[in-house]
Amino acid sequence: MSLDKINDTSLIGIEGHIKIWDPDSGEVLVRRRNAINFENMSIALASLLANEAGNTGTHHIATLRFGNGGTTIDGLGNVTYKATNTNSASGVLYNQTFSQAVDEAVTSSALNGTEISHTSPNTYSDVITTCTLDYGSVAGQDSTDVATNMNDTYVFDELAIFSGNNDLLTHVVFHPVQKSENRKIQVIYTLRIRSSFADL
């Protein structure tokens, strides 16, 4: 094969998963893979590489947003999980009820912040977002985690990463988890970005 027929094509892949746990008790409440909004993610990555700001903000990870509209539960307790809203640039949570800043320039705390992890010579890097909801940090929450109404404001069953430009980058739906005064909840949200090439 002649050299002019060989193209090196770069491949970029993004995969992610979440862990929701109580860092004091060690109890893991949710482990689940997430879905990527590939249109918004491609715009964010290109804008960050070009150091371009959007019309209303920037494209870095800015907030983790929680909602309670990701599942339906019938009278027998059977849970139905809705599809993630990642197929459109205008995707949003089904029913957002809470938002937490995870930009350390805003929060001044690694407990609500984002970092990069890379080990040479791996061809992937991890973007790790930590979001911590402490015992008294959510106004209006119940005192204990024994809610009978799974549609309660702070019974979360969906969450998403939003950019500073207010674009949904990821979305994940999971079994409902209640945030209450007697429970600290921490989300560890990992996005793994892989880079490789293919010979065509």
Strand, helix or coil at 38? helix
Q: Is the pTM of this model over 0.85?
A: yes
Domain assignment present for 4:
no
Give the domain range for residue 106: 9-199
Distance from C-alpha of 194 to C-alpha of 109, rounded to nearest angstrom: 28
The terminus-to-terminus CA distance of the chain in angstroms comes to 11
71: left (phi over 0), alpha (psi -120 to 50) or beta: beta
Domain assignment present for 100:
yes
Per-residue pLDDT for the chain (200 aa), expressed as one digit of tens each?
444 544 556 678 899 999 999 999 999 999 999 999 999 999 999 999 898 877 677 899 999 999 999 999 888 889 999 999 999 999 999 999 999 999 998 999 999 999 999 999 999 999 999 999 999 999 999 999 887 777 899 999 999 999 999 999 999 999 999 999 999 999 999 999 998 765 54
Domain assignment present for 124:
yes
Domain assignment present for 147:
yes
Which residue's entry shows tokens 């700001």? 53
Domain assignment present for 3:
no
How long is the chain? Answer: 200
Distance from C-alpha of 162 to C-alpha of 131, rounded to nearest angstrom: 13
Domain assignment present for 104:
yes
Domain assignment present for 2:
no
Q: What is the dihedral of CA 147, 64, 169, 177, to 10 degrees?
A: -20
Q: Which amino acid is it at 133? A: L
Contacting residues for 104 by C-beta, under 8 A, at least 6 apart: 110, 112, 113, 114
Domain assignment present for 1:
no
Count: domains in the chain: 1
Give burial (CB, 10 Å; 0-12/13-18/19+) of 199. exposed
